[in-house]
């Protein structure tokens, strides 16, 4: 395994052998730090946080924990080791040698893929920047900051590719990645979910469950890329993404545990009387973030998806494990569509339907998380169950965005939609209520009233450990 060097920019890509690239990145570093200090976690830049840092990309080097002030985090460039003789695994170039340089004909497409992925990373840090102030415990605060620094590092990963392989255009794109702002009407982030308001921890846990899992699936498909440096970058990012989804899934699980506990004594089963989070409010937040995240996969019938696949730039998740020809030339795919006000089917080529293929894998993976949440309800003897809404529900991108559907996927009228949307999606009253109960708790081991403690601490430390020194 390649060790990570201890330079100004820690890396395992031999950065010191490429002086021009090193200089370019060292020039970008202070701009990045300015962005971090301005848009990163508000009010906690000087605190010691118990963080995981990479000192090498293998398992042992990865599990390295210590107190760090966030601006001193080892942002760096980590790629999984090269696989000698690697071939393009799919598309029109299948079985040719994987590219170590950008193929000229795909330069623009590839840059767009990298910029779009890169843009999500700082966006989520911006979305989450005030949450430390309402953290339910030091344990949760630390997890939030861990997610934040890793998203910052993911930005580094994409900026490394832009600087290394795209020359001046790449450097300009890297500056733009620091210039856009989540939710800013004039200079928004590129994708919808990354401009959505993150008002509270319920939204944060849903985001890390659903939107970070979109990240997982995008990275899985890019980890298959025939452009080898992108593939290796994304493989390492996936190890970090797993933690983000852990934070989200266990966060919601702990809210459910606490809600079930409070329901035992709540008058008329109204947990708001005891400062808890009602199950229907959890469902509405789930509906909101799940559907926003579905949009991130793009249109159901997409010539872009076909192009990316044909070019060997973006595969399917787990492409190499699949038992087909990886070319998908004469296959077709049935997509439900609305024509003349009715739901019907349209047949498209498999390549045009690859967004839908990835989205389907993603939905199945989410269902497992929801099943685990429902276990909490079941074990507490509650009759309620959480449910993923239908993929057609509340969409802003693709075939279903110009029609209204209920959470079961039935086509409905605008008036039906308007009459029910506050019942289906997290609404202003929900957000105001959650904000009213979310007070910062900073005593080690203590939890806010609305969430149960975690089952274990971090890296063998007890839950009572001082994860952030305030
Ligand atoms: Fe990320
Ligand atoms: Fe993430």
Tell me how far apart the alpha carbons of residues 284 and 372 are, in angstroms, rounded to a whole number.
18
Predicted confidence (pLDDT) per residue in 143-178, tens digit: 999 999 999 999 999 999 999 999 999 999 999 999
Using alpha carbons only, what angle is made at residue 268 by residues 267 and 269, rounded to the nearest 5 degrees? 85
Task: For residue 154, give the ligand nearest its CA.
Answer: 1
- Kindly tell me if the per-residue pLDDT of 194 is higher than 80: yes
Task: For residue 123, give the ligand nearest its CA.
Answer: 1
Closest CA to 313 of 116, 95, 110: 110
95 Cα: distance to centroid of ligand 2 (angstroms): 31
Predicted confidence (pLDDT) per residue in 327-356, tens digit: 999 999 999 999 999 999 999 999 999 999
| Residue 366 C-beta-side C-alpha neighbours within 13 Å | 31
The CATH H-level superfamily of 15-469 is Ribonucleotide Reductase, subunit A (1.10.620.20)
- Kindly tell me if the per-residue pLDDT of 3 is higher than 90: no
Neighbours of ion ligand 1 (CB under 5 A): 121, 151, 154, 215
Handedness of CA 64, 70, 74, 80 (dihedral sign): positive
183 Cα: distance to centroid of ligand 1 (angstroms): 18
- DSSP character string of 100-121: SS--GGGHHHHHHHHHHHHHHH
Task: Write down the pLDDT at residue 59.
Answer: 63
Contact 300, 293 (CB under 8 A): no
b or e along 293-328 (b: 16 or more beta carbons within 10 Å of the residue's beta carbon)? bbbbbbbbbbebbbbbbbbbbbbbbebeeeeeebbb
289 Cα: distance to centroid of ligand 1 (angstroms): 16
Reported pTM: 0.97
Which residues are within 8 A (CB) of 285 and not within 5 positions of it... i.e. 6 or more apart? 202, 203, 206, 426, 430
Task: Write down the pLDDT at residue 1.
Answer: 45
Task: Write down the pLDDT at residue 97.
Answer: 98
123 Cα: distance to centroid of ligand 2 (angstroms): 11
- Kindly tell me if the per-residue pLDDT of 440 is higher than 50: yes
Contact 232, 79 (CB under 8 A): yes
Alpha helices (H) along 69-200: 107-127, 138-165, 167-179
Which residues are within 8 A (CB) of 379 and not within 5 positions of it... i.e. 6 or more apart? none
237 Cα: distance to centroid of ligand 2 (angstroms): 9
What are the φ and ψ backbone dihedral angles of 67, each rounded to 5 degrees? -75, 130
387 Cα: distance to centroid of ligand 1 (angstroms): 26
Closest CA to 318 of 463, 182, 216, 442: 216
Predicted confidence (pLDDT) per residue in 14-48, tens digit: 899 999 999 999 999 999 999 999 999 999 999 99
Tell me how far apart the alpha carbons of residues 171 and 162 are, in angstroms, rounded to a whole number.
6
Task: Write down the pLDDT at residue 2.
Answer: 59
Angle at which helices 212-222 and 354-379 cross, to 10°: 140
Q: How confident is the model at residue 60 (pLDDT cuts 50, 70, 90)?
A: low
How far is CA 68 from each of CA 48, 72, 77, 443, rounded to the nearest angstrom? Answer: 5, 7, 18, 20
Instruction: Please list the residues that pair with 411 across neighbouring strands.
Output: 405
- Cα 199 from chain centre: 17
- Kindly tell me if the per-residue pLDDT of 377 is higher than 50: yes
Mean pLDDT, residues 228-243 taken together: 93
216 Cα: distance to centroid of ligand 1 (angstroms): 8
- Kindly tell me if the per-residue pLDDT of 103 is higher than 60: yes
Contact 337, 344 (CB under 8 A): yes
> What is the spatial order of strands in the sheet that 468-469 belongs to?
64-69, 48-53, 468-469
Tell me how far apart the alpha carbons of residues 349 and 334 are, in angstroms, rounded to a whole number.
9
Q: How confident is the model at residue 76 (pLDDT cuts 50, 70, 90)?
A: confident
Using alpha carbons only, what angle is made at residue 201 by residues 252 and 195, rounded to the nearest 5 degrees? 115
Task: Write down the pLDDT at residue 55.
Answer: 72
More confident residue, 59 or 121: 121
Residue showing tokens 């848009």: 39
Mean of the per-residue pLDDT values of the chain:
95
What is the maximal distance between C-alpha atoms in the chain? 69
Tell me how far apart the alpha carbons of residues 456 and 318 are, in angstroms, rounded to a whole number.
31
């Amino acid at each position: 395994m390649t060790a990570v060097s201890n330079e100004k920019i820690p890396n395992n890509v031999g950065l010191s052998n490429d002086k021009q690239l090193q200089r370019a990145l060292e020039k970008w570093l202070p701009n990045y730090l300015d962005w971090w200090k301005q848009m990163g976690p508000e009010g906690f830049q000087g605190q010691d946080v118990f963080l995981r840092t990479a000192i090498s990309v293998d398992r042992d080097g990865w599990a390295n924990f210590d107190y760090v002030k966030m601006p001193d985090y080892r942002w760096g460039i980590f790629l999984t080791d090269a696989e000698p003789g690697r071939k393009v695994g799919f598309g029109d170039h299948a079985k040719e040698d994987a590219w170590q340089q950008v193929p000229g004909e795909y330069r623009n497409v590839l840059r767009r893929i990298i910029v779009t992925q890169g843009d999500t990373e700082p966006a989520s840090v911006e979305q989450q920047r005030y949450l430390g102030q309402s953290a339910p415990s030091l344990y949760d605060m630390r997890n939030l900051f861990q997610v934040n620094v890793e998203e910052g590092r993911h930005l580094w990963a994409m900026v490394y590719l832009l600087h290394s392989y795209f020359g001046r255009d790449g450097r300009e794109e890297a500056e733009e990645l620091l210039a856009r702002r989540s939710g800013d009407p004039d200079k928004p982030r590129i994708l919808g979910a990354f401009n959505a308001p993150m008002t509270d921890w319920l939204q944060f846990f849903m985001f890390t469950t659903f939107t970070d899992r979109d990240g997982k699936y995008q990275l899985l498909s890019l980890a298959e890329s025939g452009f080898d440096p992108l593939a290796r970058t994304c493989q390492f990012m996936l190890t970090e993404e797993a933690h983000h989804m852990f934070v989200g899934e266990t966060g919601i699980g702990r809210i459910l545990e606490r809600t079930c506990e409070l329901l035992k004594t709540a008058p008329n089963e109204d947990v708001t009387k005891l400062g808890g989070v009602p199950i229907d409010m959890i469902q509405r937040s789930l509906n909101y973030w799940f559907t926003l995240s579905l949009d991130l996969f793009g249109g159901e019938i997409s010539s872009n998806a076909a192009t990316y696949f044909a070019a060997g730039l973006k595969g399917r998740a787990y492409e190499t494990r699949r038992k087909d020809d990886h070319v998908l030339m004469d296959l077709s795919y049935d997509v439900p569509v609305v024509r003349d006000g009715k739901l019907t089917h349209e047949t498209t080529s498999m390549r045009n339907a690859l967004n839908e293929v990835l989205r389907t894998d993603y939905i199945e993976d989410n269902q497992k998380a929801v099943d685990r949440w429902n276990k909490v309800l079941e074990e507490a003897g509650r009759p309620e169950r959480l449910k993923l809404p239908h993929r057609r529900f509340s969409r802003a991108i693709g075939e279903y965005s110009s029609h209204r559907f209920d959470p079961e996927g039935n086509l409905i009228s605008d008036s039906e939609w308007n009459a029910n949307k506050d019942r289906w999606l997290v609404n202003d009253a929900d957000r105001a209520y959650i904000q009213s109960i979310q007070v910062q708790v900073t005593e080690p081991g203590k939890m806010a009233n609305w969430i149960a403690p975690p089952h274990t601490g971090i890296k063998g430390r007890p839950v009572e450990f001082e994860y952030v020194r305030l």
